[in-house]
């Protein structure tokens, strides 16, 4: 099998690593179809994630096909699957409550354990989920990043007419806008980059503003998806009294107007990835049901042989997701 390695910060290599081996017990062997390049893949590549190990096999957003199965595997050969990129122990106090996303022993594919950008790989069927026939691969590759916003929006009640502001229209922000709109919210998308706002507008009906054109308005729910200290502070300033702020971006530190939070009883939520399988199943459900052309979030698809170009494109700050095509 071949696999894409981040051998050291700034160094990628698609290389032969021996046979993938045969799946045993509940394992399956998966042949990747599409893999999405995520912000965390770029951070590992750039050497910016302190908990990353090197060398590490890259990648965690993936749709593929089961090509071989162990005797107790849950899924048959030919099943299309998406991968859960974070392991959980199933035994700690958080896992026992279904909070697999904050498991004490959580490890992350492509960060501190081998990822899935490869010609094939063997994985426990506990960490894959089947994709229904009516969900095309081009949408299914978005299940993992979409599950992040399913989890985040699940923390607050969003329905018809809820005023939602999304601060930061990277891929997660765009998906948050799409889901909030589908749930009936009145959505305002905010970004410094007008190109990102244009992209989100081609997908879903939202109001868009750059920071300097933003009207004096307050929102029931503010989603911070920019991952910048200034955006986190602004998210707090945009919430109406009694409103909710959901922080999705991983900012090391930010300054907040505490008096505003206290006087207006703002509710601040931190949201990290998703719970498995619940949020994944909801993500699959929404991606099937939503009439919006969500797959247009994919800006460009590169064959795996052009992995270097693909990483450069994903790191460029241009709107949309970059996807690798395998096989
Ligand atoms: Zn991701
Ligand atoms: Zn656990």
- What is the mean pLDDT of each successive set of 10 residues along the chain, which is 327 residues long? 95 95 97 96 92 92 98 97 92 93 90 93 95 97 97 96 97 97 98 95 97 95 96 96 96 93 97 94 97 95 98 94 95
Q: Are 34 and 325 in contact (CB under 8 A)?
A: yes
Write out the E strands in the chain.
2-8, 11-16, 27-37, 56-57, 61-69, 80-83, 86-87, 107-108, 121-124, 128-130, 163-167, 186-190, 207-209, 219-224, 239-247, 267-270, 298-303, 321-325
Ligand sitting nearest the alpha carbon of 82: 1
Distance 182 CA to ligand 2 centre (A): 32
Per-residue model confidence (pLDDT) at position 110: 86
128 and 31 within one domain: yes
130 and 187 within one domain: no
Each residue's pLDDT tens digit, 238-268: 999 999 999 999 898 999 999 999 999 999 9
Enumerate residues 6+ apart whose C-beta is below 8 A from 281: 129
217 and 134 within one domain: no
If you write DSSP's letter for every residue of 148-200 in order, what string do you get?
HHHHHHTTS---TT-EEEEE--SHHHHHHHHHHHHTT-EEEEE-S-HHHHHHH
**Closest listed residue to residue 153, CA positions, set 184, 197, 192, 131:** 184
How many of the other CB atoms lie within 10 Å of CB of 96?
Answer: 11
38 and 183 within one domain: no
Per-residue model confidence (pLDDT) at position 6: 96
Ligand sitting nearest the alpha carbon of 59: 1
Q: What is the CATH number of the domain that holds 62?
A: 3.90.180.10
Distance 15 CA to ligand 1 centre (A): 23
171 and 103 within one domain: no
Ligand sitting nearest the alpha carbon of 102: 2
Domain-embedded: residue 57: yes
Ligand sitting nearest the alpha carbon of 276: 2
As a whole number of Å, the CA-based R_g of the chain is 20
Distance 261 CA to ligand 1 centre (A): 30
Distance 273 CA to ligand 2 centre (A): 15
Ligand sitting nearest the alpha carbon of 275: 2
Give how many domains the chain has, as a whole number.
2
61 and 23 within one domain: yes
The tokens describing 29, both together, are 């062997």
Ligand sitting nearest the alpha carbon of 105: 2
43 and 133 within one domain: yes
What is the rounded distance in angstroms from the CA atom of residue 317 to the CA atom of residue 106? 29
The tokens describing 18, both together, are 């021996």
Per-residue model confidence (pLDDT) at position 49: 87
Ligand sitting nearest the alpha carbon of 98: 2
Domain-embedded: residue 232: yes
Domain-embedded: residue 151: no
Ligand sitting nearest the alpha carbon of 314: 1
109 and 66 within one domain: yes
The tokens describing 26, both together, are 């509940």
Distance 71 CA to ligand 1 centre (A): 30
Domain-embedded: residue 99: yes
Distance 137 CA to ligand 2 centre (A): 30
Distance 131 CA to ligand 2 centre (A): 25
Ligand sitting nearest the alpha carbon of 146: 1
Distance 42 CA to ligand 2 centre (A): 27
Distance 30 CA to ligand 2 centre (A): 25
The tokens describing 312, both together, are 């450069």
Residue 38 DSSP one-character state: P
Per-residue model confidence (pLDDT) at position 240: 98
Domain-embedded: residue 17: yes
Distance 146 CA to ligand 1 centre (A): 9
Specify the residue for token string 């030919």.
78
Per-residue model confidence (pLDDT) at position 32: 98
Residue 110 DSSP one-character state: T
Distance 75 CA to ligand 1 centre (A): 24
Specify the residue for token string 């450069």.
312
Q: What is the CATH number of the domain that holds 190?
A: 3.40.50.720
290 and 263 within one domain: no
Distance 144 CA to ligand 1 centre (A): 6
* Pairing verdict, β 27-37 and 239-247: unpaired
Exposure on the CB side of residue 138, measured as CA atoms within 13 A: 9
Residue 277 DSSP one-character state: T
169 and 50 within one domain: no
Q: Which of 223, 242, 270 is the last residue of a domain?
A: 270
Distance 115 CA to ligand 1 centre (A): 11
290 and 210 within one domain: no
308 and 185 within one domain: no
What is the rounded distance in angstroms from the CA atom of residue 268 to the CA atom of residue 153? 13
Q: Are 237 and 219 in contact (CB under 8 A)?
A: no
Q: Are 181 and 206 in contact (CB under 8 A)?
A: yes
Ligand sitting nearest the alpha carbon of 115: 1
The strands making up 56-57's β-sheet, listed across from edge to edge, are 11-16, 2-8, 56-57
Domain that holds residue 111: 2-146+274-325
Domain-embedded: residue 252: yes
Helix or strand run (H / E) with residue 315? helix 307-315
* Pairing verdict, β 219-224 and 163-167: parallel
Distance 225 CA to ligand 2 centre (A): 26
**Closest listed residue to residue 306, CA positions, set 326, 277, 320:** 326
Provide the terminal-to-terminal Cα distance of the chain, rounded to the nearest Å: 12
What is the rounded distance in angstroms from the CA atom of residue 310 to the CA atom of residue 308? 5
Q: Is the pTM of this model over 0.75?
A: yes
Domain-embedded: residue 53: yes
Ligand sitting nearest the alpha carbon of 62: 1
Distance 255 CA to ligand 2 centre (A): 32
3-state secondary structure of 291: coil
């Amino acid at each position: 099998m071949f696999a894409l390695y981040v051998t050291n910060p700034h160094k990628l290599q698609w290389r032969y690593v021996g046979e993938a081996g045969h799946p045993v017990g509940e394992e399956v062997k998966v042949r990747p179809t599409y893999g999405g390049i995520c912000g965390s893949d770029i951070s590992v590549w750039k050497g910016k994630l302190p908990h990353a190990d090197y060398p590490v096999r890259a990648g965690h957003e993936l749709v593929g096909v089961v090509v071989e199965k162990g005797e107790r595997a849950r899924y048959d050969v030919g099943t299309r699957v998406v991968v859960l990129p974070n392991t959980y122990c199933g035994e700690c106090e958080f896992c026992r409550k279904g909070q697999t996303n904050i498991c004490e022993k959580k490890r992350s594919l492509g960060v501190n354990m081998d990822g899935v950008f490869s010609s094939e790989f063997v994985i426990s069927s506990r960490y894959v989920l089947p994709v229904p026939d009516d969900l095309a691969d081009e949408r299914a590759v978005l299940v993992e990043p979409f599950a992040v916003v399913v989890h985040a929006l699940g923390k607050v009640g969003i329905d018809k007419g809820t005023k939602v502001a999304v601060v930061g229209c990277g891929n997660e922000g765009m998906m948050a806008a799409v889901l909030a709109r589908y749930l009936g919210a009145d959505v305002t998308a905010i970004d410094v980059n007008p190109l990102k706002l244009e992209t989100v507008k081609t997908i879903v009906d939202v109001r868009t503003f750059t920071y300097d054109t933003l009207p004096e308005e307050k929102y029931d729910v503010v989603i911070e998806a920019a991952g910048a200290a200034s955006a986190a502070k602004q998210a707090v300033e945009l919430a109406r009294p009694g409103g909710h702020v959901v922080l999705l971006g991983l900012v090391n530190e930010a300054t907040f107007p505490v008096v505003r939070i206290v006087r207006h009883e703002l509710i601040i939520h931190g949201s990290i990835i998703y719970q498995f399988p619940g949020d994944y199943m909801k993500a699959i459900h929404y991606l099937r049901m939503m009439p919006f052309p969500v797959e247009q979030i994919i800006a460009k698809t590169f064959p795996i042989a052009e992995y270097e170009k693909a990483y450069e494109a994903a790191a460029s700050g241009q709107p949309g997701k970059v996807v690798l095509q395998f096989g």
